[in-house]
Amino acid sequence: MRKGFEGLYGMVRSQLGCDPLSGHLFLFANRSRTRLKILFWDGSGLWVCAKRLEKGRFCWPESKPGQASVAMRQEELTLLVSGIDLKQSKPRRGWLGTSRAA
């Protein structure tokens, strides 16, 4: 994975059809799933964060056929980056996982 700011920015625009300046996190992994990068706009500039595993691989979520991206909740991203397989984890029954508007 050799892409930096401009390369990842271009991928978000052209391949995902999203706005990199939207405030969403965009997560990318290399082919072997041993490295990942996150592209994030904080309102004043772009961040690119990277993580390389010394052992193992990230358990990447599968997308539906024809879908270029997968939406995740904050908790799912934390699990993925921590090395936990999302397929083997599930939210507790009755858990909303979203904040309620007051």
User: What pLDDT, on the 0 to 100 scale, is given for residue 95?
Assistant: 65
The answer to whether the CB of 47 falls within 8 A of the CB of 29 is no
Task: Locate the domains of the chain by residue range.
Answer: 5-87
**Cα–Cα distance, 40 to 26 (Å, whole number):** 7
Give 10-residue mean pLDDT values along the chain (102 residues).
Answer: 91 95 94 94 95 90 85 88 80 63 48
80, containing H or E segment: helix 74-81
User: What pLDDT, on the 0 to 100 scale, is given for residue 24?
Assistant: 95
User: What pLDDT, on the 0 to 100 scale, is given for residue 102?
Assistant: 45
User: What pLDDT, on the 0 to 100 scale, is given for residue 99?
Assistant: 54
Q: Which token pair is 15?
A: 């391949």
51 Cβ partners below 8 Å, 6+ apart? Answer: 35, 36, 81
**Cα–Cα distance, 4 to 21 (Å, whole number):** 16
